[in-house]
Copies of this chain bind each other. A is one copy, B any other.
């Protein structure tokens, strides 16, 4: 195992290291192209090597195997999605919770429609022989749910998250899971709102997956944008976000000190890394 330069040396990178990093970047870039063109399961190291102008066995000097390249592409895609979501959310004032929610959902959908193969790699059926290494992908892989939960939590603390009308009950086993998540992420939202948030999360990706994966028959929805906008509005409602012009202070906002601050980590799935570790 020659090159596992985790914890990059404190020294400035040698020319060799720089060249090596550039080659790996090239491989990932070419891999992205092949991924976009032919899908994850058809990703071929030999084809990448050809495009790189090198014999097939040479790429094994830079990438351990096909799985490793898939992992790199996975992390790359997670981070690209995370960056775009973060940017879209940050473009709106922090108090416009409904607007930010809509921006988050739209950003995910926009990226998914632009990079369907990447979306399929992240959220589709698992690639046959491949299992993503949790210790490297959990960080980038939780950025969206992190952003969503931070958004809902902020709305709750500001008193802008309505309690669900007469929703589903939360039994003790589920409450235990939710408590663990709440503590791990440093949230304040109570059980039922947190459970609603999880449902909204899965529902958002369900709607996007159906569109990206072509589950709607061809021609069924001529206006997919409107359909998604409708779904987003309904999901905002489901989450408890007041989309109507204010309704100022159904419940008094929560101020710092009363509740734990939003933690920087660890990730949504339990005992893991902080987001952004594997970059």
Contact = CB atoms under 8 A, between A and B. Distances in A.
Interface of A: 38-42, 117, 119-121, 123-129, 134, 138, 142, 164-171, 173-174, 176-177, 181, 195-196, 198-199, 202-207, 209-210, 213-223, 226-227, 229-235, 237-238, 244, 267-272
B269 A218 contact: yes
A124 B127 contact: no
A223 B42 contact: no
B220 A210 contact: no
Q: Which 8 A-B pairs have the closest CB atoms?
A: A217-B269, A206-B206, A124-B125, A120-B125, A168-B233, A173-B223, A203-B203, A42-B128
Contacts of A213: 123-126
Q: How many copies does the complex hold?
A: 2
B181 A220 contact: yes
A263 to B, nearest CB: 16
B123 A196 contact: no
Nearest to A122: B215
Contacts of A214: 126
A234 B270 contact: no
Given A124-B213, A230-B170, A177 B221 contact: yes
Contact of A217 (B40, B42, B134, B164): B134
Contact of A226 (B124, B173, B233, B267): B173
Given A128-B39, A202-B210, A268-B217, A168 B121 contact: no
B268 A220 contact: yes
Most buried by B among A39, A217, A237: A217
B125 A121 contact: yes
B199 A207 contact: yes
A98 to B, nearest CB: 12
Nearest to A214: B126
A232 B125 CA distance: 22
A207 B216 contact: no
A18 to B, nearest CB: 35
A37 B206 CA distance: 25
